[in-house]
Chains A and B, each alone.
Chain A
Amino acid sequence: MSKISMKINGRTVSADVDERMLLIEFIRDVGLLTGTHAGCYEARCGCCAVEMNGATVKSCNVLALQAEDAEILTVEALSTQRVAPISHITTQTLASVYKPLDAKASHLADLHPLQTAFHECHALQCGFCTPGMLMVLKGFLEENPNPTRGEVREAISGNLCRCTGYQHIVDAAMRAAAVMRGETVDDIIHETA
Chain B
Amino acid sequence: MTPFSYHRPDSLDAAAAALAAGGPGAKILAGGQSLLLALKEREARPSQLVSLASLGELRGTRTAADGGLEIGPATTYAALAKTVFPGWQQEIATVAGNLADRSVRNIGTIGGGVCQADPRYDMPVLLSAADACFTLVSTRGKRVLGTDAFFNKAGGTHIAADEILSAITLPPLGQWSVLIFEKFRFRTFEAAVGTVALAVRFDDTVKIAEARLSVGVVAKAPSLATKAMQSMTGKAPAELPIDEIAAAASEEVLPLASALTMQQKYQSELTISLVKRALRRLTAKGAGHE
Consider the complex of A and B and state whether they touch directly, i.e. have CB atoms less than 8 Å apart: yes
Binding site for B on A (CB under 8 A): 2, 18-20, 22, 41-43, 46, 49, 52, 55-58, 61-63, 65-66, 68, 136, 139-140, 153-155, 157-158
User: Knowing A57-B107, A58-B103 touch, does A65 contact B6 (C-beta < 8 A)?
Assistant: yes
Q: Which of B8, B39, B49, B189 contacts A157 (CB 8 A)?
A: B189
Is B28 part of the contact surface with A, judged by Cβ < 8 Å? Answer: no
Report the minimal beta-carbon distance from B177 to chain A, rounded to whole angstroms: 30
* Contact of A66 with B104 in the complex, beta carbons under 8 Å: no
Contact with A along B140-155 (1 / 0, CB 8 A): 0000000000000000
How many CB-defined contacts (below 8 Å) exist between A and B?
A: 78
* Contact of B102 with A56 in the complex, beta carbons under 8 Å: yes
Contact with A along B49-87 (1 / 0, CB 8 A): 101010000000000000000000000001000000000
Contact with A along B1-29 (1 / 0, CB 8 A): 11111101000000000000000000001
Interface of A is mostly: mixed
Is B32 part of the contact surface with A, judged by Cβ < 8 Å? Answer: yes
Report the minimal beta-carbon distance from A148 to chain B, rounded to whole angstroms: 15
By beta carbon, the residue of chain B nearest A58 is: B103
* Contact of A158 with B3 in the complex, beta carbons under 8 Å: no
In the assembled complex, the Cα of A85 lies from the Cα of B96 at a distance in Å of: 50
Q: Which of A2, A46, A52, A57 contacts B6 (CB 8 A)?
A: A2
Is B173 part of the contact surface with A, judged by Cβ < 8 Å? Answer: no
**Complex interface: chain B residues within 8 A of A63 (CB):** 6, 29, 32, 36, 49
**Complex interface: chain A residues within 8 A of B51 (CB):** 65-66
**Complex interface: chain A residues within 8 A of B104 (CB):** 43, 57-58, 61, 158
* Contact of B102 with A61 in the complex, beta carbons under 8 Å: no
**Residues from 33 to 58 in B contacting A, C-beta threshold 8 Å:** 33, 36-37, 39-40, 49, 51, 53
Report the minimal beta-carbon distance from B56 to chain A, rounded to whole angstroms: 15
* Contact of B188 with A154 in the complex, beta carbons under 8 Å: yes
* Contact of A43 with B29 in the complex, beta carbons under 8 Å: no
Given contact pairs A19-B49, A66-B51, A139-B102, a sample of 15 additional A-B residue pairs in the complex whose CB atoms are under 8 Å apart: A19-B3, A19-B4, A20-B2, A46-B101, A52-B106, A55-B78, A58-B103, A61-B37, A61-B104, A63-B36, A65-B8, A136-B102, A157-B188, A158-B101, A158-B103
Is B100 part of the contact surface with A, judged by Cβ < 8 Å? Answer: yes
Report the minimal beta-carbon distance from A60 to chain B, rounded to whole angstroms: 8
Report the minimal beta-carbon distance from B113 to chain A, rounded to whole angstroms: 14
In the assembled complex, the Cα of A122 lies from the Cα of B285 at a distance in Å of: 46
* Contact of B3 with A56 in the complex, beta carbons under 8 Å: no
* Contact of A18 with B102 in the complex, beta carbons under 8 Å: no
**Complex interface: chain B residues within 8 A of A139 (CB):** 102
* Contact of A20 with B102 in the complex, beta carbons under 8 Å: no
**Complex interface: chain B residues within 8 A of A55 (CB):** 78, 106-107
Report the minimal beta-carbon distance from B131 to chain A, rounded to whole angstroms: 31
**Complex interface: chain A residues within 8 A of B101 (CB):** 46, 157-158
User: Knowing A157-B188, A158-B189 touch, does A57 contact B103 (C-beta < 8 A)?
Assistant: yes
**Complex interface: chain B residues within 8 A of A49 (CB):** 103
Report the minimal beta-carbon distance from B237 to chain A, rounded to whole angstroms: 31
In the assembled complex, the Cα of A43 lies from the Cα of B100 at a distance in Å of: 10
**Complex interface: chain B residues within 8 A of A62 (CB):** 32, 36, 107
* Contact of B33 with A43 in the complex, beta carbons under 8 Å: yes
Report the minimal beta-carbon distance from B40 to chain A, rounded to whole angstroms: 6
* Contact of A66 with B29 in the complex, beta carbons under 8 Å: yes
